[in-house]
Amino acid sequence: MISGVAVAGIRREAVVLLALAVMAPWVGSCRRSAGGPAALPTSNAVVRRPVTIYFQSTDMLLAAETRTISLPANDAAAIGPVVGELLKGSANPRMGRSLPADTVLRGAFLLPEGTAIVDLGGPTLVQGWSTGSHEELLAVYSIVQTVASNFTTVKRVRILVNDEPAETLAGHISLDRPLGPNASLLAPRR
């Protein structure tokens, strides 16, 4: 006669053996080769490269600043870190901040047809940013120019606030559609 404890032990062993049998092919395919670690897919590769970030200049245009940063090789994954550099502000103390200091990047995505989605947040943008129309124009296009100039796959940029389509950032510039670059707002390179 077999006790209830013995039956439970046999069932547990059977379940473990069945799980091992099912997982064996998967585990084998995940092992590294004898020659060393498996190569990373290129979509996960990180490269250091120069990027151009646009900030509000003293002459009320967008001035370019070049930085070399580590970025994912995949454009869709690299948009977020580039926008993050914009949100840090310029290294030049004479340059104005394009966006409120408490602005955060909530996400960045790239749609197949070439539209980048940049989702911003932060108390000032959510509660109402009181700035002038030209400052808002430069803030919007600092994002658009920065993203479009660094990624050839990006044709337009759509700005969201807190995961919602934003009408504006500060009440002046319409964000109801994706925007393309605007070279008329760029300061001459020096």
Q: Where are the domains of the chain?
A: 1-39, 42-185
Task: Please check whether residue 69 is in contact with residue 93, taking contact to mean a CB–CB distance below 8 angstroms.
Answer: no
Q: Exposed/middle/buried for 88, CB within 10 Å: 0-12, 13-18, 19+?
A: exposed
pLDDT digits (tens, 9 = 90+) for 3-19: 554 444 455 554 444 44
**Residue 151, amino acid:** F
Q: Specify the pLDDT at position 97.
A: 84
Alpha carbon distance 175, 160 (integer Å) = 8
pLDDT digits (tens, 9 = 90+) for 151-180: 999 999 999 999 999 899 999 999 999 999
Q: Specify the pLDDT at position 43.
A: 55
pLDDT digits (tens, 9 = 90+) for 33-89: 344 444 445 557 899 999 999 999 988 999 999 999 999 999 999 999 999 999 999
Q: pTM of whole model > 0.85? A: no
